[in-house]
Amino acid sequence: MPVIRHRLTSRILVGNPLGDPIERELCVYLPPDYDPDSARRWPVLLALVGYGGSGGMLFNLDPVGEPLDARLDRLIASGACPPVIIAAPDCFTRVGGNQYINSAGTGRYEDYLIDEVIPFVDASYRTLPRGQWGVFGKSSGGYGSIVLGMRRPEVFCALADHSGDANFELCYLPDFCGALDAFREAGGPAAWLDRYWADPNRRRSTQYKPLTALGMAVHYSPNPEAPAAHLRVDWPFALDSGEFLPAVWERWRAQDPVHMVDRHVDALRSLRAIYVDCGTRDEFALHWGSRALVRKIAAHGIAVRHEEFDDGHMNIPYRYDVSVPFLARAITGRS
């Protein structure tokens, strides 16, 4: 069955600070046995892509790999996975991606997902009711999954966090020197971002660090009073001298899943399934982030399925072969 492409017009994103579109694509995968006229209801997962992506890319043609719809068709046909609906929203922004939180820097994307995307899917398809959704994603999408799972237990009952941002001192600080260099050369973060969008090639290796640092800063330490040239952000390093600024960093740390766990124990305990995995050669140290996160959760006596595998951060959608069936079974109660 083909992937259905919807266009949603958001009210929540109206007036978002980056001027990003309010009309957004939403892709919905339906399992082969889906029948809109049936009385049956299907489990449904929210899929959150990594930084730089948009939900629809999960279904892009790829003869070397396997698009998500082909993957699911195969898993379901073999019996490895119960039939499941997947909703993949677009949350791309001018700063190159999304962490799937409400932020004064980017907009209310958590609310967009919870209050517009999910209700739309529930209204359009025969899904299991709110409260039984699952959420999964990789990298920034893994971050979004664990954070939404902790903050919205009334919506989600299962989550999978693949190589998700965590233990921010290890995963983010190594990018900052390259970012500071690039901002200095361009005349500041706002000038750098303008130049980025004016460049016809936005996948140069030199762009990765400034774009990531900038994107995270806009999410984690926005400040509407900060200079426009600074992108209205408080930076954790002084842009002119590079000095580390601990007070700003504390704002980032507060949004590190490792440190959010203790504030969301009840929510985590209420979930039916928590899945965390990461490649042991993750280029952004997220295998350590995953370990720290899992340790924090497990310290409360909460079960986590934690897996590691011999790979890095990129090109690992084959891990959905493990996580998606795990979530679908947890939701449907089939083991």
SS3 per-residue string spanning 88-118: EECCCCCCCCCCCCEECCCEEHHHHHHHHHH
Select 85 or 286, whichever has its Cβ closest to a copy of itself.
Answer: 286
Q: How far is the CB of 177 from a copy of itself (least distance, A)?
A: 4
Select 39 or 64, whichever has its Cβ closest to a copy of itself.
Answer: 64
Q: How far is the CB of 61 from a copy of itself (least distance, A)?
A: 4
Interacting residue with a copy of itself among 15, 36, 79, 200 (CB under 8 A): 200
Select 42 or 168, whichever has its Cβ closest to a copy of itself.
Answer: 168
320: left (phi over 0), alpha (psi -120 to 50) or beta: alpha
Select 66 or 122, whichever has its Cβ closest to a copy of itself.
Answer: 66
Q: Which of residues 54-113 bind a copy of itself (CB under 8 A)?
A: 54, 56-57, 59-65, 90, 92, 96
Element (H, E) at 160: strand 156-162
Helices (H) and strands (E) in the chain, counts: 13, 10
Contact between 252 and 236 (Cβ < 8 Å): yes
Select 49 or 101, whichever has its Cβ closest to a copy of itself.
Answer: 49
| SS3 category, 275 | strand
Q: What burial letters (b/e) apply to 295-328, b meaning 16+ CB within 10 Å?
A: ebbeeeebebebeeeebbbeebeebbbbbbbbbb
Q: Stretches 110-118, 120-128, 220-228, 281-289: which one binds a copy of itself (CB under 8 A)?
A: 281-289
Select 115 or 169, whichever has its Cβ closest to a copy of itself.
Answer: 169
Does residue 173 interact with a copy of itself by CB under 8 A? yes
Interacting residue with a copy of itself among 177, 229, 254, 303 (CB under 8 A): 177
Q: Stretches 166-174, 223-231, 265-273, 300-308: which one binds a copy of itself (CB under 8 A)?
A: 166-174
Distance CA 276, CA 90 (A): 23
Q: Which of residues 298-327 bind a copy of itself (CB under 8 A)?
A: 311, 314-316, 318, 321
Distance CA 255, CA 165 (A): 10
Helices (H), the chain: 68-77, 109-112, 118-124, 140-151, 168-171, 176-186, 189-198, 205-220, 246-253, 257-260, 265-270, 286-298, 320-332
Distance CA 233, CA 5 (A): 35
Interacting residue with a copy of itself among 39, 129, 225, 241 (CB under 8 A): 241
Q: Stretches 139-147, 196-204, 216-224, 263-271: which one binds a copy of itself (CB under 8 A)?
A: 196-204
| SS3 category, 252 | helix
| SS3 category, 164 | coil
Does residue 53 interact with a copy of itself by CB under 8 A? yes
Q: How far is the CB of 184 from a copy of itself (least distance, A)?
A: 9
For residue 238, which amino acid is it? A
Distance CA 232, CA 307 (A): 39
Select 172 or 275, whichever has its Cβ closest to a copy of itself.
Answer: 172
Select 2 or 79, whichever has its Cβ closest to a copy of itself.
Answer: 2
Does residue 176 interact with a copy of itself by CB under 8 A? yes
> Where along the sequence are the contacts to a copy of itself (CB under 8 A)?
52-54, 56-57, 59-65, 90, 92, 96, 167-170, 173-174, 176-177, 180-181, 200-204, 237-238, 240-244, 258, 280, 285, 287-289, 291-292, 295-296, 311, 314-316, 318, 321
